Amino acid sequence: MRHHTGVGRSGWVLLALLSLWIGFAAPVLAADKRVIPLSNLRDGQPEVTLHGETETVALRAVLPPVVGLTSVVLALTYENGIDILPEKGSMSVYINGSPVADLPLSAFKGPVNASITLPASLMRPGENQIVFQTNAQHRAICTVRGTYDLWARVNLAASSLTLVSDGGVPQPDLAMMRHLLVAADRAREPLAILHPGSEIDADHLGWGAMVAQSYGLLLGDQTPQVTAVPAQSAAKPGTSGAPSLETLPLPGGKNVLIGTRDRIAPLLGEARAAAITGPFLAVYPLPAPGGGAFVAVASGRTQQEVDLAVMRLADVSRPLPTQSAMIVTDAGPPAPLPHPPVQAEGRYRLSELGFQTVQHSGYRYAGRFTLTLPTGFAPVSDRSILFHVNAAFEGNLGPGAVLNVRVNGKSAGAIEVDKRSSGVIDNGEMPLPMAMFRPGPNVIEVEAELPPAGGTDCVFAVRRPTFTLLDSSSIEIPGFARLVTLPSLGGFANTAYPYGGLAGGEPAAPFDLVVVGREPAWFGAAWSLTARLAQRAGDLMAVVPYTGWDGAPDDNALIVGPVAALPQAVFASSPLPADRLAGLLEAGALIAQASARGEPMAAADRRALVDRLRLGWSGTPRPGVVRPGAMPSSFGIAGTAQAADNGAQNRWQRMAGEAKDSASGSGGWVPDWARRVMAAAARYINHWTVEDAPVDVVALTENADQLPEAALLQYRAPGTDPLTWTLLTASDPRSIDRAMRSLGEAGLWDKLRGGGALWSSAAPAVTTLEASHPYQIILNPFDIGNLILILARNLSQRIELLFALLLGTAVVLTISMRLLLKHGHQERSGP
pLDDT per residue as tens digits for the range 247-304: 888 888 999 999 999 999 999 989 999 999 999 999 999 887 767 889 999 999 999 9
CA distance 199 to 759: 29
Over residues 782-800, mean pLDDT: 73
CA distance 432 to 446: 12
Whether the predicted pLDDT of 789 surpasses 90: no
CA distance 78 to 100: 16
CB distance 785 to 479 below 8 Å = yes
Over residues 733-740, mean pLDDT: 93
What three-state secondary structure class fits 528? helix
CA distance 689 to 647: 44
CA distance 486 to 483: 10
pLDDT value, residue 681: 66
CA distance 40 to 590: 31
pLDDT value, residue 685: 63
| Pairing mode of beta strands 254-260, 294-300 | parallel
CA distance 321 to 654: 29
Handedness of CA 366, 372, 377, 380 (dihedral sign): negative
Dump strand ranges (E) for 67-202.
69-80, 90-95, 98-104, 112-118, 126-135, 151-155, 160-165, 191-196
Whether the predicted pLDDT of 635 surpasses 70: no
Lowest mean pLDDT among 115-119, 333-337, 554-558, 779-783: 779-783
Whether the predicted pLDDT of 665 surpasses 60: no
Residue 740 neighbours by CB under 8 Å, 6+ apart: 225, 524, 525, 528, 529, 710
Instruction: Tell me which H or E stretch contains 395.
Output: none
What three-state secondary structure class fits 265? helix
Whether the predicted pLDDT of 455 surpasses 70: no
Q: Which residues pair with 60 in a beta bridge?
A: 129
Over residues 554-582, mean pLDDT: 92
pLDDT value, residue 528: 96
Whether the predicted pLDDT of 350 surpasses 70: yes
CA distance 631 to 723: 25
Over residues 520-548, mean pLDDT: 94
Q: Which of 285, 332, 273, 288 has its CA nearest to residue 307? A: 332
The DSSP-derived string for 340-353 is PP---SEEEEGGGG
Mean of pLDDT over the chain? 83
Q: What is the pLDDT of residues 169-195, one digit of tens each?
A: 788 999 999 999 999 999 889 999 998
Whether the predicted pLDDT of 125 surpasses 90: no
Highest mean pLDDT among 169-183, 222-236, 666-680: 169-183
Residue 805's pLDDT band (boundaries 50, 70, 90)?
Answer: low
Lowest mean pLDDT among 252-266, 648-662, 806-820: 648-662
CB distance 174 to 120 below 8 Å = no
Q: What is the pLDDT of residues 398-435, one digit of tens each?
A: 888 899 999 999 999 998 886 655 678 889 999 999 99
pLDDT value, residue 16: 47
Using CA atoms, how far residue 19 sits from 23, 26, 29, in Å, is: 6, 10, 14
Give residue 76's identity as a one-letter amino acid code.
Answer: L
Q: Give 453 or 119, the one with higher predicted confidence.
A: 119
Whether the predicted pLDDT of 215 surpasses 90: yes
Dump strand ranges (E) for 435-591.
440-449, 466-469, 474-477, 481-486, 502-503, 506-507, 511-515, 543-547, 557-562
Residue 618's pLDDT band (boundaries 50, 70, 90)?
Answer: confident
Q: What angle do CA 596, 597, 602 make, to 5 degrees?
A: 90
Whether the predicted pLDDT of 670 surpasses 60: no
Number of residues assigned to the chain = 831
**Residue percentage of the chain with pLDDT more than 70:** 83
Q: Give 90 or 21, the one with higher predicted confidence.
A: 90
CA distance 469 to 446: 9
Residue 167's pLDDT band (boundaries 50, 70, 90)?
Answer: confident
Residue 217's pLDDT band (boundaries 50, 70, 90)?
Answer: very high
Q: Which residues pair with 469 in a beta bridge?
A: 358, 391
Q: What is the pLDDT of residues 244-260, one digit of tens each?
A: 788 888 888 999 999 99
Residue 624's pLDDT band (boundaries 50, 70, 90)?
Answer: very low
What three-state secondary structure class fits 714? strand
Q: Which residues pair with 114 in a beta bridge?
A: 76
Backbone angles phi, psi at 312, to 5 degrees: -70, -40
Residue 219's pLDDT band (boundaries 50, 70, 90)?
Answer: very high
CA distance 161 to 641: 48
Whether the predicted pLDDT of 661 surpasses 90: no
Find the DSSP H helices in 486-602. Answer: 489-495, 520-537, 578-596
What three-state secondary structure class fits 60? strand
pTM: 0.87
What three-state secondary structure class fits 406? strand
Q: Which of 559, 566, 601 has its CA nearest to residue 582? A: 566
Q: Which residues pair with 406 in a beta bridge?
A: 411, 445
pLDDT value, residue 20: 42
Query: How many angstroms from the chain centroid is the CA of residue 546?
Result: 24
Q: What is the pLDDT of residues 155-166, one digit of tens each?
A: 999 999 999 988
Q: What is the pLDDT of residues 304-325, one digit of tens each?
A: 999 999 999 999 999 999 999 9
Over residues 575-600, mean pLDDT: 89
pLDDT value, residue 436: 94
Instruction: Tell me which H or E stretch contains 51.
Output: strand 47-51
Residue 136 neighbours by CB under 8 Å, 6+ apart: 52, 53, 54, 80, 84, 85, 88, 89, 90, 105, 150, 152
Over residues 637-641, mean pLDDT: 35
Q: What is the pLDDT of residues 40-66, one digit of tens each?
A: 998 888 999 999 999 999 999 999 888
| Pairing mode of beta strands 54-63, 126-135 | antiparallel
Residue 158 CB neighbour total at 10 angstroms: 17
Q: Which residues pair with 616 in a beta bridge?
A: none
CB distance 358 to 367 below 8 Å = yes
pLDDT value, residue 249: 84
pLDDT value, residue 675: 65
CA distance 63 to 127: 6
Handedness of CA 144, 149, 155, 160 (dihedral sign): negative
Whether the predicted pLDDT of 371 surpasses 50: yes
Give 822's DSSP letter: H
CA distance 438 to 754: 13
pLDDT value, residue 338: 85
Lowest mean pLDDT among 76-90, 120-134, 797-811: 797-811
The 377-378 sheet, strands edge to edge:
377-378, 481-486, 775-778
What three-state secondary structure class fits 258? strand
Residue 798 CB neighbour total at 10 angstroms: 15
Whether the predicted pLDDT of 490 surpasses 90: yes
Whether the predicted pLDDT of 23 surpasses 50: no
Dump strand ranges (E) for 683-723.
710-716
Q: Percentages helix, strand, coil for the chain, rounded to the nearest 5?
A: 35, 30, 35
Q: Which of 202, 112, 336 has its CA nearest to residue 649? A: 202
Using CA atoms, how far residue 705 sits from 201, 408, 699, 758, in Å, is: 39, 30, 13, 13
Query: How many angstroms from the chain centroid is the CA of residue 759?
Result: 17
b (16+ CB within 10 A) / e for 272-306: bbebbebbbbbbbbbeeeebbbbbbbbbbeebebb
Q: What is the pLDDT of residues 494-521, one digit of tens each?
A: 999 999 988 877 788 899 999 998 899 9
CA distance 135 to 56: 9
pLDDT value, residue 487: 94
b (16+ CB within 10 A) / e for 568-600: bebbeebbbebbbbbbbbbbbbbbbbbbeeeee
CB distance 427 to 390 below 8 Å = yes
Lowest mean pLDDT among 207-216, 383-392, 605-614: 605-614
- For residue 498, say if its preceding peptide bond is cis, omega within 30 degrees of 0: yes
CA distance 679 to 677: 5
